[in-house]
Every structure is written in C-alpha cells, then in structure tokens.
Structure 1
Amino acid sequence: MTETTPAVAGGLLVPYQRLATSGARAVLPVTVDGALHLAVPQMALDLPGQPAHMNGGDSDTDLLLFRWRDGRFEQGGRLPLPGGEDVLAFAIGEDRFLATAGIRTGRGPYDLNTQAVIYRRAGGAWEPFQSIPAFAAKQWHHFTFDGRHFLALAQGVTLDGIAARHPRQSCILEWDGARFVEFQTLEGGWGYNWEFFELEGQRFLAYADHTSPSRLYRWADGAFVPVQDFANLSGRAFRFFEADGGAWLAFANIAGDSVLHRWDGRRFEPHHSLGGPGGREFELIHTGSGLYLVRICFIQGSPAAPKTDLMSQIHRWDGDGFVLAGEFPTFGGTDAAAFEADGQRFLAVSNSLTPDIRFRQDTVIYRLAL
C-alpha cells in the first residue's frame, strides 16, 4: 500500500501502510526508550481445515510489537498473549508498564480462565512483573488521582457451560507501592470497556458491559457508586470530552445506536445518534483545525453469521455535536489510535475478521489529512 491508493473517509484518510496481523483486537502507539512502537494484540490464528467461525481458531497467539523506522513500521518483537484482547501502557514514577489481557487459551476446546500479565520495563526489555487471575479478560484502564494509581479490568462472559475458576466479575485494582491489589468488584457479567474522567469537581468511571447495564459510577466515600445507566445490554465503549462549554460522553452499543450524550449538570442526556448497530470503539482526535471522533464498527448480526465488512465513520465537531465527515471500510474493526511521527499525523486501525470470517486480516495505517 502506498499513498497513491485513493483516500477514503471524504479524503480525510490516506492509506499509508498495511501490517500483517491475525484477529487484531487493539492498536496502541507507545514510545519505548525514545522510539515509537505499535503494540497489536491478536485474538486468534486460522486453523487449516477448521470451519470459519469468529470464536474459533488457534488462540495461542502473541502480542506483536512494531517499531517505527524510516517512515514505516517494521516488526520489532513480540510477547506471549494468548487470545489477545488488549494492551495498556502506563507509568508509575520512573517505572514503565505494559498490562496485557487475553480472553482465552487453546485451540478448541478453549479455557477462558487466563492470566492477565503486567510487564515492567527493565534492562531494555519487558519483564513479567505481576499476573492477575482473569476470566475472559477484555480491557485494562489506568487512572490516577490524589497520588493513587488504579487499574480497572473489564472481563467475564455469561454463557452456559463455561466455568469460571478465576474471579469472573470486572474489578478495580489499586497500587499499594509494590504491586496491584484488589480494591473493588463491580456487578457486570460481560465487561468490555472503561472511561475515567473528572467533571465539576467530581470523579467518574464509565463501564461498558454486554449482558449487564453499562453504567456510570461516581467516586464517593472511598468507592465508586452507580449514578446512571446507559443501556441494559450490548455496551461496548465510552469516550468523554469537553468542548464549547459543554461536557460530552459518547457511548457505543453494538446492537443499537451509538449516542452522544451531554451533561446537564446532574446526568448525561442523549443529544444525537452517532450511527447504528455495530459500534465497538471510539478515538478522539484534537487538531488545530478542529475536533474529530472516529467510530470503529465490529460486526452486525450474530456471532454464528456475522457481517464483518462494515463502514466505520469519522465525525467532525460543529459546535453543538458531531456531523458525519466521511466513512471508511473496516473488517471486524476493533480499535483505532491516532499518533504523530516524523511531523505527520496517522491513524492505526485494527481489523480482526475477513468477509468470510477468517482471522488473517491486516491492520491498516492511514495518514490523516484533517
């Protein structure tokens, strides 16, 4: 792929590079020892002779680490991450960490009781630091306030015949000065995503869940307490921002509309739709020329017969909401992340499924022409 490939999304995205990935579930730009890297967890590899199914394949996979060199990403290493769903970079003092999450191990039958491994940078390498027993782990989120550091882990499934030997509910861990320890367990049964933010002197944590309410929590009396529900089922992601004197919260629901909500001083009220079923993840992009919201779409239909070739969107802020600026193709799209390199802006987009429901699908790097 070169920049002679036609632009998409109304000319806002110029295809720049393809990365060979399989079942990619996230993209994380991270600077390590002064060099830009892109970390890509992979959920599964295709198994020859196995019927196509989005929950099949070989889940004994690796986290791929690509390094930016001479204007391109090149393979730069890997870490074991079976059933890879997420990777998170954060720092505590001078220490740098990578937290990884995988949904399962095995090639069928699968085991959803996994270890969510946290790595620490030491001696120019990532070394295992702490393992958290997890069950169908999907996403980490790091946040801090008052000198305290927290890690939230979204996890769990509610399927008949799937036994949990590890803790099955989504939870929040806190740094005790030497390691992360359990702080609070939430009621969610099939966790997906988090968003922490501060607003009007209050601290909030938004939590998206597939089979339990996607819920907004507020910090009160030393714990997070529920204050608002957004949907009872099919929640995937939240994204908070402030613009033009207002506070806003975008919510993605894979089975219904993604909706932008506005803070009215007490709660977030629906403002307008961001698109129909399929929404899985957001990326917010601030530029000198404006504010943009990317909505990544995963599938429509059931896991037994999913439609994976969908159009994802870029929305442009117009002062009182978002207007559609363009669309671009994704294939089981899972994540997007904006980054800068060599004086230019880029957008990495992870794709996880081909139209015929196979896992070997490229992650795409676009140059942003905003």
Structure 2
Amino acid sequence: MLARQNTKLLRQIGTLPTSGARAAEIYSMNHQTFLAVPQLAYDLAATPAHMNGGDSDTDMLIFRWNGDAFIEHSRLSVPGGEDAEFFTINGAHYLATASARKGKGPYEPNIGSTIFRWDGAAWSHFQSVPGFLAKQFRHFSIGSRHFLGLALGVTIEGAVATNPRNSCILEWNGTSFELLQTLEGPWGYNWRHFTIEGQHFLAYADHVEASRILRWDGKRFELFQTLEGKTGRAFEVMQVDGQIQLAFATIAGDTTVLQWNGQAFEHFQTLGGPGGREFAALTRDNSHYLVQINFIEGSPKEPKTALVSFIHQWDGDQWQKVFEFETFGATDAAFFSDQGKTYLVVTNSLTPDVRFRQDSAVFEFLG
C-alpha cells in the first residue's frame, strides 16, 4: 500500500488573468505550445453576484508558452465560452469552441458554436454549429473517419430552445462537419472516446438523465451501458496494471472509478463526494496520477466555490489521495511537458464571493 505522501506535488509558478474560465486546452503548433481558455462571463458592475450572471459577450484567451510562463498571444470572440478542442485533419488545424450563451441578461442560449481553422497566420471562422447552451466539443477518429461530439441542452425554466437542443455527434464529410446522430440526453456536459480490444466506445455525461456508454457498430453509436446516478460531468480513462478504468465525476453525487470486467464497467472505488467537475491523468516513471477537479458545492443560488481539489496516486491496489490544493470554482485541468519538466494548468471560474474575475493557475508538477 502506498503511504499518504507529505511531499508537495505542485509548485505554483504563475497565474492567468481569467474571468469565468471554463476549460484549459493545451495544443502544439509550429513547434510551440499554446493554451486556449474560453471564458463564460465578465463581471457586471452594480449587479448581484450569481454564478449564472455576468456579461457573456466574452473572448477566448489564447496564451503562448515562452519556456517559463504563458503570455497572452491572441483572443477570439467566443461568447459564453465553455470549451475549446484542438484537432488536425489532413494537415489542417482546427479549434472547435462551444458557446453556452450571449448577452448580459436576459441571455440568449440559442447561438452557434464556432469551429475555427488556422490559415497559416491566424484563426479564421470555418463553420458555425447551431446549438442550445453548448457545453463541450470532443474530437475523435475511427480509422480515417473524423467525428465531433457536441454536448448541448439545459432544462431550466424560461430557457426555450429554437436551435437543436439535444447532444449530437457530427462527422467530417470531406469539407465540413454534418450531423450523424442525435442523442436523447437533454442536458449534456462531456464526452470521452476510448477503445477496448478494437471496439470503439464513447462515454457521455448528462446532468438530468443517467450518463451512458455508447458503442460503435460501424454506422452509429448504440447504447452499451447506463451508469448509475445523475448530474454527470466528466470522464477519464486510465490503464493501470493491465486494467482499464473509467473515472466518472458527478457534481451532486460521488466521484467514482469504474473498472472493465471483460464485458462491462463495474464500480471499483469511490474517490470523493459532491463537487466533481473534471480530471487530468498522468503516467510518469511507472507512477500513475489522477487529478480530480472540484467545482462547487451547494446550489447555484448559494454555491461554495472555495474548495479543495485532489491528486490521487495508484498504489497497485487502489487510488490513494496523496495531495490537496485550493481551487476556486475550478472547471478543468491539463498537463503538458517542456524541457524535461511537467506542468499542470488549472482553470478557476469563480471567486469565493461568486464573482467571475478569478485567476487560473499554472503549476510545476513535482511527482
């Protein structure tokens, strides 16, 4: 068994001046490392604090790594920014961005989410995908075919969908992305694609219905397994000691780890209680680490945003919590490496008094 470590695993080396930061997308292009951070909202003066308030006519920040820190490189108009996903098709680079809403209140959740393409000098508009409160894009490929999962929807009073409202899967047709399949989930959050013994699976997290695992049948994704619990937020796939595991976060329930038993996933371990939002996984020097990002506890009307997020380490039998660090309405985390060192970016979205102007953090990972 692995003893609980007292060694500090993270050393903060910098901050990022973000506002309602919702995702950390690390990507490499032209031998340089970049970080895209979509932002949900800016603070509005003389208005009550609310995690779903603010000014959502926002820009997405793009930072460039200079070897020691991230410096701002450019900005893209991504209103109500929730996610960014970098991918490459036939040598062309794309950046898919998910937008939840626009405006300063009342808000318009029926807006397009923009896919940008790199033109050699800058990101230019390539395609807009209509949606209703978009949450996440996820790119994956099966053979030569390219797909985008788009998580959509919300079921709250007063929000009326005029755009497509259900999460969907798009496929590249050679010139753009077109609809392949619509899911039943009414409040989508997240996707994770993975393979087991040549079979392709797609995990889908939904807030109001059970999250599920889909399996590719050669033409479309069909239901493979329904997961227990609601308020699904995110997944992470890990391979440890020859076993395939799936971490699953729920905002109002437990964060758990499921393990593949040869035919389906079954409960393996509970990592923590409410608040789970995202993960980042790392294997280094035969050690496996799992970062668990916690967002809020309580209701959106009275959220507790100053929480503790965790780093777990695999001890050969189970995951042990070996490090804790402060986060503030944390939404995402991403590892990257440079010159023999490993770094972790953590996006924070809300101050303790529920304002949006909260720095995100850059750490050196010392494990």
Q: What TM-score range do you get, normalising by the shorter chain? A: over 0.9
Shift of 1:201: 2.4
Aligned equivalent of 1:176: 173
Do 1:27 and 1:38's aligned partners in 2 also have CA atoms closer than 8 Å? yes
- The aligned amino acid for 1:346 is Y
Number of equivalences: 363
Which of 47, 57, 61 aligns to 2:54? It is 57
Shift of 1:9: 8.2
Which of 139, 142, 148 aligns to 1:142? It is 139
Shift of 1:351: 0.2
Unaligned segments of structure 2, at least 5 residues: none
CA RMSD of aligned residues (A): 1.2
Shift of 1:83: 0.5
Shift of 1:123: 2.6
Answering whether residue 105 of structure 2 is matched by residue 108 of structure 1, we say: yes
- Distance in 2 separating the partners of 1:110 and 1:78: 22
Q: Given the superposition, is the C-alpha separation of residues 170 and 10 from structure 1 closer, same or farther in structure 2, using an over 3 Å criterion?
A: farther
Question: 1:299-318 alignment to 2 at 5 Å?
Answer: 299-318=296-315
- The aligned amino acid for 1:369 is L
Aligned equivalent of 1:296: 293
Answering whether residue 216 of structure 2 is matched by residue 219 of structure 1, we say: yes
Unaligned segments of structure 1, at least 5 residues: 1-7
- Distance in 2 separating the partners of 1:9 and 1:366: 17
Q: Normalising to structure 1: TM-score of the pair?
A: 0.96
For residues 217-238 of structure 1, the C-alpha deviation after alignment (integer angstroms, 9 at most, x for no partner) is 1112511111211134200011
Answering whether residue 37 of structure 2 is matched by residue 40 of structure 1, we say: yes
- The aligned amino acid for 1:312 is S
- Distance in 1 separating the partners of 2:107 and 2:93: 32
Shift of 1:277: 0.5
Do 2:305 and 2:350's aligned partners in 1 also have CA atoms closer than 8 Å? yes
For residues 27-65 of structure 1, the C-alpha deviation after alignment (integer angstroms, 9 at most, x for no partner) is 111112221111111000000001000000000000001
- Secondary structure of the structure 2 residue equivalent to 1:149: strand
Which of 320, 341, 350 aligns to 2:347? It is 350
Aligned equivalent of 2:244: 247
- Distance in 2 separating the partners of 1:220 and 1:241: 23
Aligned equivalent of 2:121: 124
Shift of 1:159: 1.2
Q: Normalising to structure 2: TM-score of the pair?
A: 0.97
- Distance in 2 separating the partners of 1:163 and 1:207: 23
- Distance in 1 separating the partners of 2:93 and 2:8: 37
Aligned equivalent of 1:3: none
Which of 193, 196, 200 aligns to 2:197? It is 200
Shift of 1:10: 4.5
Do 2:230 and 2:253's aligned partners in 1 also have CA atoms closer than 8 Å? no
Do 1:198 and 1:204's aligned partners in 2 also have CA atoms closer than 8 Å? yes
- Secondary structure of the structure 1 residue equivalent to 2:297: coil
- The aligned amino acid for 1:324 is K
- Distance in 1 separating the partners of 2:218 and 2:118: 35
- Secondary structure of the structure 1 residue equivalent to 2:107: coil
Poorly superposed stretches of 4+, deviation over 2 Å: none
Shift of 1:256: 1.0
Which of 15, 30, 46 aligns to 2:12? It is 15
Do 2:67 and 2:338's aligned partners in 1 also have CA atoms closer than 8 Å? no
